[in-house]
């Protein structure tokens, strides 16, 4: 699933620590949740408006929760930036919990000065955790044509600034290839990714502690 | 982002987002802490008296506060309709035109860099002077300045801001110390008489007031940052406006009152010579006999931390401008990159630090005076740049609402902006005409034209850049002023052939 793959890419495969700054991880995970719904043609994006296309309950419980939220506030016509901001509050934890339910990660406490300050979701099997990164990185470096799932993941990577990790040490032709491939995504996804990229940029501008 | 017509309580999305939004107090604290009150009351005001030789500094602070409050009316009204409301050039680009917008962006980069780099002079001189007085440690000012530079540079790249609570405590302490100092000075007037003569509006038409006015404007720079938070406030229509008025009013009264208290303690006729003798130590020298060493040490420490907070804040401001221009591709796109792990606008931050380093080393080699030639000259030149930006922004507000009223009352779209523009143009004229007084150089010195001319050069550079963009990169040109939302910023707007290929 796209969300799982993005979560794995955005976190260290051994320690479970994020590879991105917190705001980008949160917004990236929110975008990944919406991207899964877009990929399964549950929701539709046009310009900055988001609408529900298919109301049948999804099998996956997390997708079910997210779609329910979208349906409940359909009449309010929140734009995609509002949804990204809203989902970003919970998205990282929600994706981690899904991995936890399926036995892919375990919870490990983060302690600072003897107090628990948070939790990390540490991968159970680092080979599984590193797989999305290894496959995508290799395909991009070989300039292989990407299928939709790879493209969507590559798009999320580019929108959240993970490409410097994904293509570490690769030639500029490879990052050019990544940009070109992502430009081929269907407009719905490009619209989502454009807003994700801009939302992270705005968060950088309005940074405060 | 949020639709204001829908009640916030009944929506899960709206109420979740509302929980993390900022209230008026938070915005005021962020903005005022960056403006660093003690920097102005102890540093800016005393240097202003010493170098301009004008006794009218106190009334200038009050007059500037009123003018800036007028400016705020239109500025905040327009900020609600912009996507990149934190940067002056966005207003100018939308209200006057994109070429002026690009020019304004270049002026802004120069001006905020000048503010930041000039502050290093104050920081270095005050810290080295204090270390020498209290601990008998003799360190050159530029060593202290470079130490501050190194810390700011690292914090800038690591994206560490001073914590909100730390800032709030520091701000409260600074305001308390400045207020106590002012009260003590007023309670001990020099000849036993409290003179109000330096608050006389008559100074506003006297000769040499231009220098005092721009000194005062320099002290307020930073108040405009309230609009950066406009998307994150509880009630975008009210919170930002209220926070800006409060910030302007509180700083205006504090600065004006404190500068007036200085003149009471020395006597209005002796303030200039006293300021020339003691420079930034004047305020501490005046209160020492009445308050004792503890308060003076506390004041010194807060003076240094306040200068540091201002340094960091202006460093972030420059980084923000460079980032948003890099994202728009008005400046090289590399400036729009952020650090992966910290989200800092890395390239912009490094560029600012490199520039500051070069200037500091230049000043150290030239053995120029850190307070007069760096702190005062360069920050007031930055103040002049910000004054130019505010004047243009005020014109932009009139232009923006002239095309479409957008249901704003006429006071907000015409009344206040026209009055503010007139006042700002008047200040700008006086400042440029009296720049020799401001620098304390002879009327025929080329320096008096050099500083204002640097802004003209930046503006000209901006016009050329805008022309090139219009001819070669129309999509970049169209998006000027959009900041992170600009289409050229995004890799996802390209639609090459076979665009629909990537469907699930």
DSSP codes joined into one string, B236-292: TTTHHHHHHHHHHHHHHHHHHHHHHHHHHHH-TTTHHHHHHHHGGGHHHHHHHHHH-
**Whole-number pLDDT of residue A209:** 46
B483 and chain A: CB distance < 8 Å anywhere? yes
Closest partner CB to B6 (pick from A39, A76, A155): A76
B288 and chain A: CB distance < 8 Å anywhere? no
- Any domain includes A52: yes
Reduce the DSSP state of residue B486 to 3 states and report it.
coil
* B500: chain A residues, CB-CB within 8 Å: 186-187
Give dist(CA B91, CA B50) in Å, integer.
36
CB contact under 8 A, A186 and B503: yes
**Whole-number pLDDT of residue A208:** 61
CB contact under 8 A, A164 and B231: no
CB atoms within 10 A of CB B1: 15
- Any domain includes A175: no
Closest partner CB to B491 (pick from A182, A187, A207): A182
Which residue(s) pair with A46 in the sheet?
Answer: A49
CB contact under 8 A, A89 and B20: yes
CB contact under 8 A, A20 and B491: no
- Any domain includes A159: no
CB of B382 closer than 8 Å to CB of B221: yes
Q: Please list, in sequence order, all residues whose beta carbon lies within 8 angstroms of the beta carbon of residue A168, skipping any fewer than 6 positions away.
A: none
* A165: chain B residues, CB-CB within 8 Å: 340
* Domain extent for A199: 2-124+186-205
Predicted TM-score (pTM) of the model is: 0.88
Q: What stretches in chain A show pLDDT beneath 50?
A: 209
Closest partner CB to B13 (pick from A86, A187, A204): A86
Optimal mutation site among B3, B13, B84, B316, interface A, most CBs of chain A within 10 A: B13
**Whole-number pLDDT of residue B7:** 54
B 77-116 near A (Cβ less than 8 A)? 84, 86
- Any domain includes A44: yes
Closest partner CB to B345 (pick from A184, A190, A204): A204
End-to-end CA distance of chain A: 33
Domain borders along chain B are 20-480
> How far does the CA of residue A29 sit from the closest CA of chain B (Å)?
16
CB of A121 closer than 8 Å to CB of A139: no
Superfamily of chain region B20-480: Amino acid/polyamine transporter I (1.20.1740.10)
B20 and chain A: CB distance < 8 Å anywhere? yes
pLDDT tens, position by position, for chain B (504 residues)? Answer: 455 565 555 678 888 877 777 788 888 887 887 777 888 888 888 888 888 888 888 888 999 999 999 999 999 889 888 878 778 999 999 999 999 999 999 999 999 999 999 999 989 988 988 888 888 888 888 889 999 999 989 888 877 666 667 778 888 888 888 898 888 888 888 777 777 877 778 777 777 788 888 888 888 888 888 888 777 777 777 888 898 999 999 999 999 999 898 888 888 888 888 888 888 888 888 888 888 888 888 888 888 888 888 888 889 889 888 988 988 888 888 888 888 888 888 899 999 999 999 999 999 998 888 888 888 889 889 999 999 999 999 999 999 999 888 888 888 888 999 999 999 999 999 888 888 888 878 778 888 888 899 999 999 999 999 999 999 988 888 888 887 777 776 777 644 434 444 555
Q: Please list, in sequence order, all residues whose beta carbon lies within 8 angstroms of the beta carbon of residue B318, skipping any fewer than 6 positions away.
A: B109, B112, B113, B116, B348, B352
- Any domain includes A83: yes
CB contact under 8 A, A77 and B3: yes
Closest partner CB to A20 (pick from B340, B487, B498): B340
- Any domain includes A40: yes
> How far does the CA of residue A158 sit from the closest CA of chain B (Å)?
8
Total of domains in chain A = 1
CB contact under 8 A, B484 and A201: yes
Q: Please list, in sequence order, all residues whose beta carbon lies within 8 angstroms of the beta carbon of residue B145, skipping any fewer than 6 positions away.
A: B120, B121, B123, B124, B360, B370
**Whole-number pLDDT of residue B6:** 56
Find, in chain A, the residue whose alpha carbon is nearest to that of B165: A209
B442 and chain A: CB distance < 8 Å anywhere? no
Reduce the DSSP state of residue A50 to 3 states and report it.
strand
> How far does the CA of residue A50 sit from the closest CA of chain B (Å)?
14
CA atoms within 13 A on the CB side of A31: 31
Q: What CATH number does the domain containing A82 carry?
A: 1.10.3630.10
Optimal mutation site among B321, B342, B491, interface A, most CBs of chain A within 10 A: B491
Give dist(CA B153, CA B210) in Å, integer.
34
B324 and chain A: CB distance < 8 Å anywhere? yes
CB contact under 8 A, B323 and A19: no
* A187: chain B residues, CB-CB within 8 Å: 499-500
B 156-185 near A (Cβ less than 8 A)? 159-164
CB contact under 8 A, B504 and A198: no
CB contact under 8 A, A184 and B498: yes
Distance set, CA B158 to CA B86, B151, B152, B496 (Å): 22, 11, 10, 37
**Whole-number pLDDT of residue B436:** 84
**Whole-number pLDDT of residue B103:** 94
* A194: chain B residues, CB-CB within 8 Å: 487, 490, 492-493
B 225-284 near A (Cβ less than 8 A)? 228-229, 231-232
Q: Which long-range contacts (CB under 8 A, 24 or more apart) does B359-365 make?
A: B359/B117, B360/B117, B360/B120, B360/B142, B360/B145, B360/B146, B360/B149, B361/B142, B363/B121, B363/B142, B364/B140, B364/B142
**Average of per-residue pLDDT values in chain A:** 90
CB contact under 8 A, B489 and A198: yes
């Amino acid at each position: 699933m796209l969300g799982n793959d993005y979560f794995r890419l955005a976190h260290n495969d051994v320690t479970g620590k994020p590879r991105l700054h917190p705001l980008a991880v949160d917004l990236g995970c929110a975008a990944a949740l919406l991207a899964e719904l877009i990929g399964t043609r549950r929701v539709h994006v046009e310009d900055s408006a988001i609408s529900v296309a298919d109301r049948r309950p999804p099998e996956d419980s997390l997708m079910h929760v997210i779609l329910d939220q979208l349906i409940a506030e359909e009449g309010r016509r929140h734009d995609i930036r509002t949804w990204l901001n809203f989902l970003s509050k919970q998205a990282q934890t929600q994706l981690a919990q899904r991995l936890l339910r399926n036995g892919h990660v375990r919870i490990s406490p983060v302690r600072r000065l003897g107090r628990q300050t948070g939790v990390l979701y540490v991968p159970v099997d680092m080979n599984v955790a590193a797989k999305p990164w290894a496959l995508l990185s290799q395909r991009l470096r070989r300039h292989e044509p990407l299928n939709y799932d790879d493209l969507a993941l590559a798009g999320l990577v580019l929108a959240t600034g993970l490409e410097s990790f994904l293509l570490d040490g690769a030639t500029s032709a490879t990052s050019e290839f990544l940009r070109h491939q992502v430009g081929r995504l269907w407009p719905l996804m490009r619209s989502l990714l454009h807003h994700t990229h801009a939302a992270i940029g705005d968060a950088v501008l309005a940074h405060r502690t | 982002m949020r639709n204001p017509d829908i009640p916030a309580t009944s929506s899960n999305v709206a109420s979740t987002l509302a929980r993390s939004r900022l209230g008026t107090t938070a915005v005021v604290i962020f903005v005022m802490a960056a403006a660093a009150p003690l920097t102005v009351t102890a540093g800016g005001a005393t240097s202003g008296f010493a170098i301009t030789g004008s006794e009218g500094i106190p009334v200038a602070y009050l007059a500037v506060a009123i003018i800036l409050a007028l400016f705020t009316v239109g500025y905040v009204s327009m900020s609600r309709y912009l996507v990149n409301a934190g940067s002056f050039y966005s207003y100018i680009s939308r209200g006057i035109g994109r070429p002026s917008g690009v020019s304004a962006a270049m002026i802004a980069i120069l001006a905020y860099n000048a503010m930041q780099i000039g502050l290093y002079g104050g920081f270095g001189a005050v810290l080295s002077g204090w270390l020498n007085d209290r601990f008998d440690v003799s360190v050159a000012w530029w060593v202290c300045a470079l130490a501050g530079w190194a810390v700011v540079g690292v914090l800038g790249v690591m994206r560490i801001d001073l914590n909100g609570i730390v800032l709030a405590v520091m701000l409260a302490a600074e305001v308390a110390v400045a207020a106590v100092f002012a009260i003590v000075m007023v309670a001990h007037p020099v000849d036993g008489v409290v003179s109000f003569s330096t608050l006389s509006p008559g100074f506003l038409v006297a000769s040499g007031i231009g220098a005092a006015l721009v000194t005062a404007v320099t002290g307020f720079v930073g108040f405009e940052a309230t609009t950066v938070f406009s998307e994150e406030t509880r009630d975008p229509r009210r919170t930002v406006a209220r926070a800006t008025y409060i910030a302007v009013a509180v700083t205006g009264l504090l600065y004006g009152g404190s500068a007036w208290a200085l003149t009471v303690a020395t006597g209005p006729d002796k303030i200039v010579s006293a300021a020339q003798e003691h420079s930034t130590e004047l305020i501490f020298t005046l209160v020492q006999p009445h308050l004792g060493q503890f308060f003076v040490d506390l004041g010194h420490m807060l003076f240094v931390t306040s200068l540091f907070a201002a340094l960091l804040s202006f460093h972030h401001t420059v980084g923000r401008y460079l980032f948003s221009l890099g994202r728009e591709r008005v400046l090289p796109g590399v400036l729009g990159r952020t650090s992966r792990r910290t989200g800092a606008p890395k390239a912009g931050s490094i560029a600012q630090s490199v520039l500051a380093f070069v200037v500091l080393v230049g000043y150290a080699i030239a053995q120029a005076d850190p307070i007069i030639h760096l702190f005062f000259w360069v920050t007031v030149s930055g103040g002049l740049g910000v004054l130019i930006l505010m004047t243009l922004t005020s014109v932009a507000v009139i232009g923006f609402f002239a095309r479409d009223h957008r249901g704003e009352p006429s006071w907000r779209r015409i009344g206040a902006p026209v009055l503010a523009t007139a006042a700002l143009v008047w200040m700008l004229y006086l400042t440029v005409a009296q720049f020799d007084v401001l620098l304390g150089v002879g009327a025929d010195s080329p320096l008096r034209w050099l500083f204002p001319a640097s802004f003209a050069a930046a503006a000209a550079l901006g016009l050329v850049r805008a022309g090139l963009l219009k001819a070669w990169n129309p999509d970049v040109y169209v998006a000027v002023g959009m900041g992170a939302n600009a289409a050229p910023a995004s890799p996802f707007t390209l639609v090459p052939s076979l665009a629909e290929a990537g469907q699930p």
